[in-house]
Structure 1
């Protein structure tokens, strides 16, 4: 497939002028008929890897997707881009299914989304040759090594036997090496080309805090995030409800979401969140896999996840539009114990416990968190990331032998019969029930550490565990016990160096805080929400936040300028451009901006196109040289024409078609709508020709 065709399709339907890393390589492999395994982080652009080929391939593309909510979201999104798509699942009426089958027979559908449990509906009418591509989303679900194994996925191995000449594209956001190999084996695609994208989501800030006074910490976290969407993940249903209730009492639009709610209630909560009616979801991990919302600005883990894959996937739901977003993880040993209990009943207990251990090590780390996270997936950073709590506030080490001796002596006096919380209570001289009931106030170590905060004591004792002086007896209610090595500190004057624990403050992110109510961005959000309600689709499917930010920065005031915005394709420009441009013009008039706008990259890109045009290069040559879509170059030339440059637009339009469009301009009810002309000529004249002709006629009319 020619590169210019791919780039034109990318701009026309998805609004982007260039591919992200690996996308083009994967798409070209699909057109060669090869099987592929794609490991690409959430928000990395996996969907385009099969949606774009589906537009250009002759037959239907079958997409296996695990959740009904995810299917509906993706179908709504791709339909909004002008690509015909549908989904089939067990919840639909028979008449609805038959209507979809008829559309498939008439070749009116390019993408068909199906749940693995519903494959029997498809099997009866699809034969080899009628399916151009099979895409399997969330492919890690097929592997028992994966973090979210689903038995229904195990049947998918038959697809390659059923459609031997059809390429299979397996996609997942998270999979370690063992899981990757198992996916290929289970799907019968042993020779699949593996494409592993970078897992480095630089826009995500990473932070871990001790799990004490969590609600107070969450309240502080949310102070400057009044208008932002976020998810708080909890281990239990009860916690989601209690937390949502507390947040509501503080004035936040929060809801609890878990598997115990009935289907209709869950769907309503999810829809409210997607449509920005609700701001915060307190959820068990049942929530999120079906969410494609691009403007989630933060994710909090109220409890520790059971493995790094799940944690990475869940934090990956923040900042999918590429804007700066925050993640916060609360860590406590109570969570570790609870997760160990869950793992002990699982079939792959050993694997789960090993992965939980890695999760615990990440939480306790005193080095760059992103390095730890990326190395787990086989990717290595040379430098520290600078965007995690450790990098923002690196620890300083101090000679902490006396502190260590106090803690170790206390554990010794308690005879290894208490967990970390009771030890800290004794050290700080607390007078709670545990202390009084056991007469711990009589111990010589009672109150010897009252000058150190509870939080600091917890951190120091965790360091002593990591240094090997203390161990946790998980089988004895999490009691702390001394190791042989502790004797060297207590009796042999061995020195201990501890990391100085300072209260770490999250630095404010430029893009995520303090958005003024009447900023252009906020006004564009309101326009987007109005359109979303009218069309009954999620707001981010109109345009994501990053596209609105680009509109705010560039302030397009014509169709041609609007088409230069990243994320604006032809159909969305036709459907929504007028309303956004109208709001931008109104905002600019109100502000009475007299200062000339600074030259931006868009201005430079126009200059580049102009220089190539003056050198006599054709539109096709300029597009190929600049690696952008052909219609982008046409948009550049029209903009330059507006600015008074010597651009001969007549060379791109036959005289007969220009004459027809001139006549139509007098006849049409809505002569300002491109769509009106396109339908008037029954699609015989391309959009690009209509746009250029109208630009020529615009200048004629002015003259």
Structure 2
């Protein structure tokens, strides 16, 4: 035993250059070397790969490592080759190889030079590969990302279900080591059952990553917020996760436009592009990777300093694994997730067409995410409880937004007693949603079909409000008064502690959830342009005076130069270049060029004279407005199409198209609508309205109608003439 221990440490030192093992690595490796089945549950960054790499190097034959991530295989093979000084020591066998490369890999394995062979689960199940592996001495099989076996896992892959059968076909009594960073008690059970390793030695590390800071923000102007955050953390490595490939491309483009070294990464890109992107990130040629949640990065980079979720994560396991890419070296790691009801609605819509059982599982998994995001309880406590670990929030050390925020407590003794009593009365056969409906007196179909509206407790919690009851049930679970039966669609059961509380209630306080304000319509392009601070009244007056003076010189009404909202935005962002001025809403390239210079000069001098610290978000550039609708309208006006026809072809109302046309013109694009206006408005009327706007102080349609006579003109006629006026004189 002493000899084995010495040999272990010698190999650790000689091959990897480490003096000590991390956590339970030594016990795990010893167990594998003894030929025992081993199950490792260890958080990201805990050193899982060492648990199979070192015993593989010390064992006779070749260890097979099953991994779903081609990127991770390449990464680990490169590292092992660097440590071992030989390309033959480790190989991967997957769809990215050419025929010649596959022959070379197989020759090295057969000759005994290869100690670790990484295989994708899809490749493993091919008969030709099974036949080949049977010719070799397989030391053991490592199943990485073992949670992929379970339908309850966040990344279920049917091929993983076949692994046990394949191992049995390769040889008898081959030891298995299964490893995962994210497994709830239910998933752990599934893994052991499916791999037929119920007698395996289980090593479970704490899921707590003390160096990570967790934060959830309401989703408003999200791209602007991300650019701002990244700029404030210039030079640090980060990952931004998005739900769709389209959003990945869009966010990466906006970051690049703002001088940030960022690249997109998703399954739709060619394998070579993905590999190059990954190398650039590892070599620090790129600071930020924008990736889809669905596509595992598999990047072992120790110094990722922040992970941002542009969209709500699909599951707590996914969230834990993705945030776990931050601060793997034990240094700073900030995890920011943006949350909105719209994201939840989108994810629920994706599930609509799935089979019932899959939908039920998906709904429960998503509900955990919603509860996590909306709760005011310590994020760490919630996260660890999800993985079956009890955690005292005092140990969070203010490393989450909820622990840093001020909280509202409520005395929960009476309400907890009432809720537990109701759950027991109804036979512990319902989820939290149903229990809250009874307490709130909501007469749903389910409440009626079970005649729960006739219960004495029906409606008795209405005055307390839904937020209190959802806060209470969430914390009753976190504090182990209740448990959730995951197999039975999230039904609530009383624990031993819950039953004890019913018999002997005692004083207890819970935290009331904060309400996450609903997000604005998430128009990211506009979001990147919106005002960022308090209005500078002094500057506003100076800009209005300048506008008036220039308008007088040009013989134009002031609003033709810039409208009031544009001036107001200049007073919060202080644009001092043409490019920055273009980012102000209602300005655009045309107006910036035609009228911008004196305004820029005035603002620049004002900033210098008053020593103003300009907001960092001013310089946020949004991607060129690619609105297909705007382009469509401009092209069809150039072709002299009627506005009614343009509206009909896009399924819009005439008023909606008119509003779009006005926005285009107000941003500085010249449109010639004479062909259409001449058809619908008499020449005399046109002249009268045009002359009115020439002398008007403001561009209000209501004022124009009052002056010209509402009986003689329609609102649309005045609006059309205002568009013509602004286009001809302002652009």
Query: TM-score category by the smaller chain?
Result: 0.5 to 0.7
Distance 2:27 2:392 in 1: 26
Distance 1:293 1:180 in 2: 27
Q: Which of 32, 56, 62 is 1:30 aligned to?
A: 32
SS at match of 1:171: strand
1:354/1:124 Cα in 2 relative to 1: closer, same or farther (>3 Å)? same
The answer to whether structure 1 residue 331 and structure 2 residue 339 are counterparts is yes
Residues 635-671 of structure 1 show CA distances to partners (whole Å, capped at 9, x for unaligned) of: xxxxxxxxxxxxxxxxxxxxxxxxxxxxxxxxxxxxx
The answer to whether structure 1 residue 99 and structure 2 residue 104 are counterparts is yes
Distance 1:157 1:470 in 2: 51
CA RMSD of aligned residues (A): 3.1
Distance 2:330 2:54 in 1: 21
CA contact (8 A) 1:27 1:49 kept: yes
Residues 482-533 of structure 1 show CA distances to partners (whole Å, capped at 9, x for unaligned) of: x95796379xxxxx99678999xxxxxxxxxxxxxxxxxxxxxxxxxxxxxx
The answer to whether structure 1 residue 291 and structure 2 residue 266 are counterparts is no
Describe how 1:135-154 pairs up with structure 2 within 5 A: 135-154=142-161
User: CA offset at residue 471 of structure 1?
Assistant: 9.2
CA contact (8 A) 1:288 1:317 kept: no
Residues 59-84 of structure 1 show CA distances to partners (whole Å, capped at 9, x for unaligned) of: 11111111222111110011111162
CA contact (8 A) 2:59 2:139 kept: yes
In the alignment, which residue of structure 2 is the partner of 1:488? 463
Question: How many positions carry a matched residue from both structures?
Answer: 426
Residues 385-434 of structure 1 show CA distances to partners (whole Å, capped at 9, x for unaligned) of: 021111223424699xxxxxxxxxxxxxxxxxxxxxxxxxxxxxxxxxxx
Could you list the runs of 4 or more consecutive aligned residues of structure 1 that deviate by over 4 angstroms after TM superposition?
396-399, 465-473, 483-487, 496-503
In the alignment, which residue of structure 1 is the partner of 2:121? 116
SS at match of 1:21: coil
1:365/1:342 Cα in 2 relative to 1: closer, same or farther (>3 Å)? same
The answer to whether structure 1 residue 388 and structure 2 residue 400 are counterparts is yes
1:81/1:147 Cα in 2 relative to 1: closer, same or farther (>3 Å)? same
Higher relative contact order (CA 8 A, sep 6+): 1
In the alignment, which residue of structure 1 is the partner of 2:421? none
In the alignment, which residue of structure 2 is the partner of 1:349? 359
1:471/1:14 Cα in 2 relative to 1: closer, same or farther (>3 Å)? farther
User: CA offset at residue 469 of structure 1?
Assistant: 6.9
Q: Which of 93, 97, 100 is 1:88 aligned to?
A: 93
1:497/1:269 Cα in 2 relative to 1: closer, same or farther (>3 Å)? closer
SS at match of 1:126: helix
In the alignment, which residue of structure 1 is the partner of 2:389? 379
In the alignment, which residue of structure 1 is the partner of 2:190? 182
SS at match of 2:132: coil
In the alignment, which residue of structure 1 is the partner of 2:371? 361
Which of the pair has more CA radius of gyration?
Answer: 2
1:261/1:126 Cα in 2 relative to 1: closer, same or farther (>3 Å)? closer
Describe how 1:108-507 pairs up with structure 2 within 5 A: 108-119=113-124, 120=126, 121-127=128-134, 130-162=137-169, 163-347=171-355, 348-384=358-394, 385-386=396-397, 387-396=399-408, 488=463
In the alignment, which residue of structure 1 is the partner of 2:64? 62
CA contact (8 A) 2:262 2:287 kept: yes
User: CA offset at residue 334 of structure 1?
Assistant: 0.9
1:276/1:329 Cα in 2 relative to 1: closer, same or farther (>3 Å)? same
1:398/1:221 Cα in 2 relative to 1: closer, same or farther (>3 Å)? farther
TM-score, normalised relative to structure 2: 0.54
In the alignment, which residue of structure 1 is the partner of 2:681? none
Distance 2:206 2:284 in 1: 30
In the alignment, which residue of structure 2 is the partner of 1:624? none
Distance 1:225 1:145 in 2: 36
CA contact (8 A) 1:398 1:500 kept: no
CA contact (8 A) 2:108 2:114 kept: yes
CA contact (8 A) 1:128 1:165 kept: no
Distance 2:441 2:302 in 1: 44
In the alignment, which residue of structure 1 is the partner of 2:425? none
User: CA offset at residue 182 of structure 1?
Assistant: 1.4
User: CA offset at residue 330 of structure 1?
Assistant: 0.9
User: CA offset at residue 354 of structure 1?
Assistant: 0.8
User: CA offset at residue 160 of structure 1?
Assistant: 3.8
1:345/1:40 Cα in 2 relative to 1: closer, same or farther (>3 Å)? farther
Distance 1:272 1:497 in 2: 45
Distance 1:389 1:338 in 2: 26
Distance 2:384 2:360 in 1: 23
CA contact (8 A) 2:248 2:265 kept: yes
User: CA offset at residue 470 of structure 1?
Assistant: 11
CA contact (8 A) 1:39 1:171 kept: yes
Distance 2:61 2:513 in 1: 61
Distance 2:296 2:104 in 1: 30
CA contact (8 A) 1:128 1:166 kept: no
1:346/1:44 Cα in 2 relative to 1: closer, same or farther (>3 Å)? farther
Unaligned runs of 5+ in 1: 400-464, 474-482, 491-495, 504-703
CA contact (8 A) 1:75 1:87 kept: yes
Distance 2:19 2:377 in 1: 38
| Greater alpha carbon shift after TM alignment, 40-49 vs 284-293 | 284-293
Distance 1:30 1:176 in 2: 24
User: CA offset at residue 238 of structure 1?
Assistant: 2.4
In the alignment, which residue of structure 2 is the partner of 1:692? none
In the alignment, which residue of structure 2 is the partner of 1:570? none
1:108/1:487 Cα in 2 relative to 1: closer, same or farther (>3 Å)? closer
Unaligned runs of 5+ in 2: 412-435, 445-457, 466-509, 518-731
The answer to whether structure 1 residue 77 and structure 2 residue 79 are counterparts is yes
CA contact (8 A) 1:254 1:280 kept: yes
CA contact (8 A) 1:10 1:16 kept: yes
Distance 1:104 1:350 in 2: 45
Residues 245-286 of structure 1 show CA distances to partners (whole Å, capped at 9, x for unaligned) of: 221221111222333334333333333223222211222114
